Structure 1
Amino acid sequence: MREKLKTAIEASVAAGKAIMEIYRNDDFGVENKEDDSPLTLADKKANEIINEFLVPHAIPIISEENKQIDYEERKIWTQCWIVDPLDGTKEFIKKNDEFTVNIAFVEKGKPELGVIFAPALNTLYFAVVSESKAFKYIISETGVSAEEVLDTAEEINPAASKGERLKVVGSRSHMNEDTQRYIEDLKQTYGEEIEIVSRGSSLKFCLVAEGNAHIYPRFAPTMEWDTAAGHAICEAVGLKCVFKETGEPMTYNREDLLNGHFSVSYEG
């Protein structure tokens, strides 16, 4: 697993470097995909780089920017990588720095390893679930080896208690009715002192994993590649990532790669 983690770290940092080269320019080459979501040159270049790192492992890859493979073929997989080469493309286009590279390794539907790299913030998060620890590393402009990252990264932990106010990950500008209703229910349990904290892309998971928020409810569409890496990091520190409808842990390489509503917290 350490070798897979090193590869995922190296791939995410290399992809992040390419993303930042495009980010500093004004021409992102923006197109719209069939679902009307944006696609940039950075998405494409990052995907190419990540594939170069992962393909030699001979483990199948589910990536937002790869051609999607039919479930009849995928259902026999016991292992796979799940990749979002640029999570938060809208954040990238708006130039607010809150976009990430997400790489997860999944075995029998469960995330076993997760790497999230925010290249504009020079911040890397990673975890191996079986080791029950997650880490954060600030990467210098000159770069760093994966070995140095693994040897010197700072361990992160979720908040030990709710403190004076409950912090919930949400949108600064708008929330849908399901999320608003959920927050109102929380107020009945924890009181009116609820603070909404916001972050783009998979950094929402990291807010909870490093103790800057307590709960992340996501009652809007996401895909498996949006969540697998963040799920691994959160699970490694004892958080539960569960589907709202069933209360069961989130799983991956499903027939439908579209996630249902979910929440991240100690309680699940």
Structure 2
Amino acid sequence: MSDQIKTLYDICLEAGKEIMSVYEQDFDVAFKEDDSPLTIADERAHHVISQGLKSAFPDIPILSEEGRDIPYEERKKWSEFWLVDPVDGTKEFIKKNGEFTVNIALVEGNVSTLGVIYAPALDIMYIGSESEGAYKVEQASKVTADYWLDAAVELPMDQERDTIHVVASRSHMSEETEAFIEGLKGDVQTVSSGSSLKFCLVAEGEADYYPRYAPTMEWDTGAGQAIVEAAGGQVLRESDGERFTYNKKELLNEWFLVKR
């Protein structure tokens, strides 16, 4: 497996340690915005990730949620770049349900070709590469980067069931998502997960569809798309059914559908 994956594996573990050092504290979510525990966790993870990437890959620029103000006139010249969300899943972090992630993707041209998603509270790592496939590593922090593949399960995993599983909110389902589900033939069940772990459910085979008919940003989806596509799935624009792309002038994503 590529040295890039090994490096990203280690970087994600280190970022996860910084996030968990904040997450495991008793914090008051009513703090001022600039002092919120999530912001502190974001900043610490961003520092670890950016320093790690710059050290290992000095010629590849970084676009991160914590450093989003790079002009398009500069970005459009990039042939490749790292797309980073240091902590994805604000609500999950605050609720302390563990379903938040570190997301790192490599975008080449305007296509996400490599993605790593790490859920530090769950200690699960997902890895997807256009050339090397998709994998899941449980108890990731107990595995060194050199031997991660020995502990990994290749995705998608075999899933035999009679029902169609759709990733959707049980309590706040949008009209568009309801319409999508009603258009499916067969017995449909909803499954739920936080942050970019929704992509991972599809990559694993635990879910068949993830319709996202709500706003997201490029760093929310880059790593997840690489993992889904490496597992044989698709991430398609809702407007025209075409493959999702990146480094647009506006970093706000269109609505999309993830499918196995």
Taking structure 2 as the reference length, what is the TM-score of the superposition?
Answer: 0.93
User: Which of 170, 177, 181 is the aligned partner of 2:179?
Assistant: 181
What is the SS of the residue equivalent to 2:18?
helix
Per-residue CA deviation, residues 32-70 of structure 1 (Å, 9 max, x unaligned), is 48xxx9952111111111011011212111100114201
Is residue 208 of structure 2 the alignment partner of residue 214 of structure 1? yes
For 1:10, the equivalent position in structure 2 comes to: 10
Q: Which structure 2 residues correspond to residues 247-262 of structure 1 after superposition, within 5 A?
A: 247-262=241-256
Q: How far did 1:156 drift? A: 1.8
| 8 A Cα contact 1:75 1:253, kept in partner | yes
CA distance in 1, matches of 2:66, 2:53: 14
Between the aligned partners of 1:255 and 1:151, the Cα distance in structure 2 is 40
- Other-structure match for 1:237: 231
Residue 154 of structure 2 is aligned to residue 155 of structure 1 = yes
TM-score (norm 1): 0.90
How many residue pairs get aligned? The number is 256
Pair 1:76–1:38, CA change in 2 (3 A): farther
Equivalent pair of 2:200/2:228 in contact (CA under 8 Å): yes
Structure 2 counterpart SS, 1:213: coil
Whether the aligned pair in 1 keeps the contact of 2:124 and 2:140 (CA below 8 Å) is no
Q: CA RMSD in A?
A: 2.0
SS in 1 for 2:136: strand
The alpha carbon displacement at 1:139 in A equals: 2.3
1:178, 1:256 → 2: CA distance? 23
Alignment-mate amino acid for residue 144 of structure 1: V
Does the Cα contact within 8 Å between 2:27 and 2:37 map onto a contact in 1? no
Deviations 1:3-23 (A, max 9, x none): 221121111111011111111
Q: Contact (CA 8 Å) 2:211, 2:256: kept in 1 or not?
A: yes
Identity of aligned residues (%): 51
1:50 alignment counterpart: 49
Please list, as runs of the form range in 1=range in 2, the aligned pairs for 1:1-268 lying within 5 A after superposition.
2-27=2-27, 31-32=32-33, 39-56=38-55, 57-58=57-58, 59-131=60-132, 133-139=133-139, 143-157=142-156, 163-186=161-184, 190-191=185-186, 193-266=187-260
